[in-house]
Structure 1
Amino acid sequence: MQQSPQAAFIAPVRPEGDNALEIGTCMELKVFVDLEELLTTRLLIQGNSGSGKSHLLRKLLEESAGVVQQIIVDPEADFVSFGETFGYTVVDAAKFKPSKLASVARKARELRGSIVLTLEGMPIDDQLRAVAAFLNGLFDAPPEHWHPAIVAVDEAHLFAPNGDNGEDKEARKEGQQAMANLMSRGRKRGLAGIIATQRLSKLHKNVAAEASNFLLGRTFLDIDIARAVDLLGMSRADGEQVRNLNRGEFLGLGPAIARRPMKVTVGAVMTVGKAGASKGLTPLPSTSAADMASMMLADDDQPSTPALRVVR
């Protein structure tokens, strides 16, 4: 299909072979991320809750699975399905001390095995210490193991917060430093950071500033829109584009994506997160108020889920 003048002006990348990660469409044309370029220039994904941010991250990781080693930091266990689908090693951080997690990270670099580090259910201070130890373990691997690897961090603002959100001061400092090292010094060690966050204003500026590629989704707060248009090199008047994006739409820019901001509609994925496929509205059970109250207030050792008739 011939490019329109607008598509030519945007100048999207056109990689080939394993370098071509297809993530969606723009003006009915396929949109790609150049994997080799991504490995040296890093990526920041942003989108408010419900924007499709995690879906986009999942699409990128699925497209590059089996092509490059992947190391996924997963605070909500949304990517544990990669264990069954792609054979990744799933590590429950809650079961190990930070020193062991650092050792696991070094071993992952040596063996070049893809891994999902899940942090589900851990207090935030413990998450910060676990992620700092794990990232430092990746970072400290000996030079003979500096093979290319994607390091994807979902909800990155949790581990590199912009300010004090009540975390332990030392734990917060450890997390911020480890994330900064990943994004600023990881390239020479073969580590390509892909960080995803709900809000740019919550993410430490020193971490966000190290990304050269951006996929920015729907956001509504003025402070986040201002940072988004600055990253994309857009005028403040064009900031409404960010506010008006639909779910699954992102503005992409960078050497691995396009030379000018390009609106991307993200394609379908094959795996699902912890919550499964989106259910939309589901019918409520037709239970009387008295029966519902009786079940809710029943002792914990009493069954509380009788067969309920659903009215459709």
Structure 2
Amino acid sequence: MQIVGQTTQLEAWVASRTRKFHINEILIIEDRDHRHPKAEVIETRTFNRYIPLASEQSNLVDTSVLEGLRSVGFDIEDEEIHLGKLRLIEELPTPIRVGAPARVPSFAEVEDLLIKRKPHEGLTLGVIQGSREIAKDMPESLQNVALLFDKENGVGEQGGVPFVFDYRSMDQYPHIGIFGGSGSGKSFGLRVLLEELMLKQVPAVVFDPHFELTFDQEFPNLPEDFRHSFKKRFVTLDAGEDIGIEFSELIADDIVSLLRASSGSITDAMETAIKALHKKSDSFLTYSTRMANLAEALDNEKEIREQSRDEYLNPNDRERVKLLNDLLVKYKDKVGGFSGTLRSVLRRLTRLEMEGVFTSAGTKKVEEAFAKRQLVVIRGSMYFLNVFAFYVVRKLYRKRRDYRDSIQKGRPVEEKFPPFVIITDEAHNFAPKGDVPAPAKGVLKEIAQEGRKYGVFLVFATQRPALLDDTITAQLSTKLVFRTVRSVDIAVIKEETDITAEEAARLPYLSSGTAFLSSAITGRTTAVRIRVSKTTSPHFKNPFEELEEGFAEQDEKVWEAVLPSLPIDASNLNAYLTEIGRKVGRLLSFDELEKTLEDFVDQGRLLKVSTPFGARYNKA
């Protein structure tokens, strides 16, 4: 292997007669003047005499490369030649020497480049692409820590150097983005990341709109020494049931955000009324009652004015009239004098209350889980999670910030509050780009910019990075990019990462489970094959396999019920329905039993024979 063609301080071409180059593999260029620099293969090509375009100076191969091949002794008309385009790991002061030999390094020569943390110190996410040959002399402590999976062969060997993410460096380079289209492996990658956080016992809260982030079901067919139980490492909370919003903790702006999230939009008059009527530490009952009373007072203003001057009212009525009149005096001008506005707000608030949004549970269960260093999965519809996210995130963040500020200022601290990670799937719904309203957007942007100082970090997973808030996207120091097809999303990825033009061109064609990891922590973009997860989603099974298995199980029950009744006369199926139904555990219709018997005939289990009295089903 040797360098051919024109070279620069950053790129070069390497050629070989006998060895094909592997995408993303690392090579060492034996150029003494540059102290034997390392380079990564970012593009591979092979051509031979059966591709005459090569000798006709086609744009498939650069002219300078062809001339370089000739100058170092390659016969491009008759030989099969393998080419690799190299990108140097570090920029050089001058171009690399043409003709310099290149070779595959030993593991020891690139260990510092590839391994930033040992597996027990970091998050073992997968295997570095193109590292199989280097891994041959890798120490045993790095072997079999990141097994791989494919649908054809199942769980297989590691086959390369493990990629171990140095999560401890997030205090300097915070926040992670996980981008990828449907079927790209994004959700699989998120699951692996969460497993690793649980293994390191990092407290975290994840908002799960797909009801798939549970970790009590083991991935099938894992080797014994790769298995791990996470049942004590996570808790699952259903929004509106196990966790809710303490209304008394809300300020007026929070109520406005809540109603915008739940109702789509509110008018300026509604916002004015919400803020005018709110008092600090209001419960839902006191606030909603005040609003309902004022609406009643506005509807009956004339009668209330007259009754307030009536000397003959009984004490109870007098007290009620005084209450309504006082509300009119205090709030009428502040709310615009229209009861319809108040009733619109009240309907929206009552809907949230009936759906279980307002409870006294608050974030108590989340805080208890954090004290145990657990992962908390908050499940619910996107509507519910949008409503809850701003409250949960803000409250947890403030507790952590207040705890750190107290330590910094030397104030006594009653209770520790640990650093933690916030994870959202479908992140563009929680922090959308532009002026799209979202209640949690403000606090998430604050954490993106300031959270590092307090030990609060974000992991944002989304299929649509182009729809994610620009400020947050810019603060994601690490981006895990899976297969992405949309040009607008690829444009955002190119702008926000250091992936090359060649890597960007590969994004629409990446295999599921393979990603480019671009990070300020590693200082370069690394192609990674995500390891097999130790757990599986409850939705893991293929729905069509599920369909076949479900009906096969059902047919077996009917078969066991039918056997004692054979032979069965086709003209008298009704006589068998009750007995077969009792054995199966449900009532079968005439048509269903007839179809099932015919299916058994097609399967070769039964024979359908003709008799003078009609068809009869016998065991085959």
TM-score range, shorter chain: 0.7 to 0.9
AA at the equivalent of 1:86: K
Closer, same or farther: CA 304–104 of 1 in aligned 2, 3 Å: farther
Shift in Å at residue 152 of structure 1?
Answer: 1.9
2:451, 2:427 → 1: CA distance?
Answer: 16
Aligned pairs for 1:63-142 (under 5 A) are: 63-67=196-200, 68-81=202-215, 85-87=230-232, 88-95=234-241, 96-99=243-246, 102-104=362-364, 107-108=367-368, 111-120=371-380, 122=381, 124=383, 126-141=384-399, 142=402
Aligned pairs for 1:190-205 (under 5 A) are: 190-205=455-470
1:51 equivalent among 176, 184, 193:
184
Residue 9 of structure 1: aligned partner: 89
AA at the equivalent of 1:35: Y
Residue 259 of structure 1: aligned partner: 523
**C-alpha contact (below 8 Å) 1:146/1:189 kept by paired residues:** no
1:269, 1:138 → 2: CA distance?
Answer: 29
2:124 equivalent among 2, 13, 22:
22
2:366, 2:379 → 1: CA distance?
Answer: 18
What is the DSSP-based 3-state SS (H/G/I as helix, E as strand, rest coil) of the residue aligned with 1:61? helix
AA at the equivalent of 2:191: R
Closer, same or farther: CA 76–112 of 1 in aligned 2, 3 Å: same
Shift in Å at residue 102 of structure 1?
Answer: 4.9
AA at the equivalent of 2:194: L
1:133, 1:43 → 2: CA distance?
Answer: 22
What is the DSSP-based 3-state SS (H/G/I as helix, E as strand, rest coil) of the residue aligned with 1:162? coil
2:231, 2:451 → 1: CA distance?
Answer: 25
**C-alpha contact (below 8 Å) 1:109/1:147 kept by paired residues:** no
For normalisation by structure 1, the TM-score amounts to 0.79
1:269, 1:278 → 2: CA distance?
Answer: 17
Shift in Å at residue 109 of structure 1?
Answer: 7.6
Residue 290 of structure 1: aligned partner: none
**C-alpha contact (below 8 Å) 1:76/1:118 kept by paired residues:** no
2:369, 2:387 → 1: CA distance?
Answer: 20
Closer, same or farther: CA 86–37 of 1 in aligned 2, 3 Å: farther
Shift in Å at residue 127 of structure 1?
Answer: 2.0
AA at the equivalent of 1:74: D
Shift in Å at residue 209 of structure 1?
Answer: 1.4
Residue 211 of structure 1: aligned partner: 476
AA at the equivalent of 1:136: R
2:168 equivalent among 31, 36, 44:
36
Closer, same or farther: CA 72–110 of 1 in aligned 2, 3 Å: closer
Residue 224 of structure 1: aligned partner: 489
AA at the equivalent of 1:268: V
Shift in Å at residue 20 of structure 1?
Answer: 2.2
**C-alpha contact (below 8 Å) 2:480/2:517 kept by paired residues:** yes
Q: How far does the alpha carbon of each residue in 1:20-71 deviate from its partner, in whole angstroms, 9 at most, with x for none?
A: 2211112222111012013542111101111111111111121231422222
AA at the equivalent of 1:175: A
Residue 240 of structure 1: aligned partner: 505
Is 1:152 paired with 2:423? Answer: yes
Aligned pairs for 1:254-293 (under 5 A) are: 254-256=519-521, 258-278=522-542
**C-alpha contact (below 8 Å) 1:105/1:137 kept by paired residues:** no
Residue 335 of structure 2: aligned partner: none
Identify the structure with bigger relative contact order (alpha carbons < 8 Å, sequence gap 6+).
1
1:52, 1:75 → 2: CA distance?
Answer: 17
2:520, 2:216 → 1: CA distance?
Answer: 28
Alignment length (residue pairs): 288
1:89, 1:22 → 2: CA distance?
Answer: 23
Shift in Å at residue 212 of structure 1?
Answer: 0.5
Q: How far does the alpha carbon of each residue in 1:78-101 deviate from its partner, in whole angstroms, 9 at most, with x for none?
A: 213359833222111122432357
Shift in Å at residue 77 of structure 1?
Answer: 1.8
2:453, 2:208 → 1: CA distance?
Answer: 24
1:246, 1:260 → 2: CA distance?
Answer: 21
Closer, same or farther: CA 155–131 of 1 in aligned 2, 3 Å: same
Q: Which moved more, 1:175-184 or 1:126-135?
A: 175-184
AA at the equivalent of 2:235: T
Closer, same or farther: CA 30–4 of 1 in aligned 2, 3 Å: farther
Q: How far does the alpha carbon of each residue in 1:262-304 deviate from its partner, in whole angstroms, 9 at most, with x for none?
A: 1111110011123134567667569xxxxxxxxxxxxxxx979
1:160, 1:137 → 2: CA distance?
Answer: 17
**C-alpha contact (below 8 Å) 2:209/2:382 kept by paired residues:** no
What is the DSSP-based 3-state SS (H/G/I as helix, E as strand, rest coil) of the residue aligned with 1:85? coil
**C-alpha contact (below 8 Å) 1:37/1:255 kept by paired residues:** no
1:281, 1:92 → 2: CA distance?
Answer: 29
**C-alpha contact (below 8 Å) 1:101/1:137 kept by paired residues:** no
1:205, 1:278 → 2: CA distance?
Answer: 36
Residue 226 of structure 2: aligned partner: none
